Structure 1
Amino acid sequence: MTDQPDLAFDVFARACPSRGTLEHVTGRWGGLTLGALREGELRFNELRRRVDGVSEKMLSQTLHALERDGLVHRAAQPTNPPRVDYRLTPLGAEVAERLLGLIELVEGRMDQVLAARAAYDARPPTGR
């Protein structure tokens, strides 16, 4: 018996809906988009410039998925030309906060990662 309550969702179960949300959050563009929006509300093109390398199509798909999951709020302004702003929801801000902790950990340990890669790449192929 554990002190942990039974979880209603189990990401390790194939049919669990949390698995899709985890993919949206931890995928390359989802994680970077959430991290960028943690800095504040951004328009689409501002977000695209901040998330260097993302295509317009991928950013649009990513934003739709994050909005559907309740992590991002999309606000269309009735202006000419149309203006659309994106910001994190409270849930999105909580997820982004935890994600940024992981990002900071990885960035802070990149010297170790690069050294491990170099050591791995220096080994003969049969030793891998």
Structure 2
Amino acid sequence: MSEATIDLIDRLVARFPPLEPILREHIADNFGEVLPHLFFGDLTRFVVQQYCEQMSSDSGPRAATDSKPIVGELLDALEDEFTHGTSEVQELIAVSFLENLPARGERGEGIRELLGREMASELSRIA
């Protein structure tokens, strides 16, 4: 855990209020601590769930970002953090977000198509 990764989580939760209960539960489950890699696992599940819920009621990958902006906005925020963040932030996003996205053929795989250029490049490198 580093100050940079904790600051990233704080920025995301401040910008996206639906993440607040996820962080609260995470802290409660981890004896009052924020464990960035574990939290990012929770974040990934949340983003994929939001994407899948939207896809089941809309048509096409862009519908997830058009009708339910939190998916697109979160992905944009993560792209910005990945592009401009410290090496610790980049590692956190790569290892605990990108690597946890659904693989080809799995439910929610279309979220990969919504990634920004830098995260998409990293995902293709590590996947």
Q: Would the TM-score normalized by the shorter structure come out above 0.5? A: no
Higher-RCO chain (CA-CA 8 Å, sequence separation at least 6)? 2
Instruction: Quickly name the TM-score band, shorter chain normalised.
Output: under 0.3
Structure (1 or 2) with the greater helix fraction: 2
TM-score w.r.t. structure 1 length?
0.26
Question: Over alpha carbons, which structure has the higher Rg?
Answer: 1
TM-score w.r.t. structure 2 length?
0.26
